A and B are shown apart, each in its own frame.
Chain A
Amino acid sequence: DSGVTQTPKHLITATGQRVTLRCSPRSGDLSVYWYQQSLDQGLQFLIQYYNGEERAKGNILERFSAQQFPDLHSELNLSSLELGDSALYFCASSVSHQFGGGADTQYFGPGTRLTVL
């Protein structure tokens, strides 16, 4: 058990809908990362939040957004869903040093499997 929790475990929805995925980081971790794992693309970084602020952005679509709340949990919002958005979505957390401050290991949650029909 990594200490990172994600809900829900499974989500089935229709095209055009909007869903929210939730992540609670490990106790003491300030950074939350979101990744998408699809069959053809592997694990792709989407976005990072550090202590409530967006820190880095990866290949995240404009239809997707995220936020990190004062209690450090994070939500990933996916809207206008398409069939191609079906994937596993992982959240990871880390202590996160200052930039260039050293190693930073990320610990992953169990993931949310999203199926868009």
Chain B
Amino acid sequence: DQQVKQNSPSLSVQEGRISILNCDYTNSMFDYFLWYKKYPAEGPTFLISISSIKDKNEDGRFTVFLNKSAKHLSLHIVPSQPGDSAVYFCAASNSNSGYALNFGKGTSLLVTP
């Protein structure tokens, strides 16, 4: 049962433009959400996170938005750079049950020059 879904397997964006990656979840008990970036043959690298008590968190070029009523979060990358090309995973956890991460299946982002 996939509790975290990333419905776009891939996304292509021009350098300098905004990349928007989307994620939906079904479990209302999730209270912490994270985005990871992954290159082939490497482990996921933590990018940014947001607690369920917030609706926005910003770190440099990366901003995560959380809409709890819609059970939806998004990652905005502005401006996009070719080095951002990677697979992005959305993950969610419930702090009352050990913080195990539930991952989406990932979105492959390609930023073209």
Give A residues with C-beta under 8 Å from B: 2, 4, 31, 33, 35, 42-45, 48, 50, 55-56, 58, 90, 92, 94, 96-97, 99-111, 113
Contacts and interface: CB of A to CB of B under 8 A. Distances in A.
Given A42-B104, A50-B98, 8 more contacts: A43-B89, A43-B101, A58-B100, A99-B98, A103-B95, A106-B46, A106-B101, A108-B45
Contact of A100 (B44, B45, B91, B96): B96
A56 B106 contact: no
Interface string B76-113: 00000000000001010101111111111110000000
B43 interface: yes
Interface string B30-59: 001010100001111110010100000000
B44 A90 contact: yes
Nearest to A45: B100
B100 A56 contact: yes
Interface residues of B, number: 26
Given A42-B104, A42-B105, A43-B89, A104 B99 contact: yes
Nearest to B33: A103
Contact of B99 (A2, A96, A109): A96
Nearest to A44: B103
Contacts of B43: 2, 4, 90, 92, 108-111
21 contacts: A2-B43, A2-B46, A42-B103, A43-B89, A43-B91, A43-B103, A45-B101, A45-B102, A48-B100, A55-B98, A56-B98, A90-B43, A90-B44, A99-B95, A100-B96, A103-B32, A103-B49, A103-B95, A104-B95, A106-B46, A106-B99
A57 B36 CA distance: 22
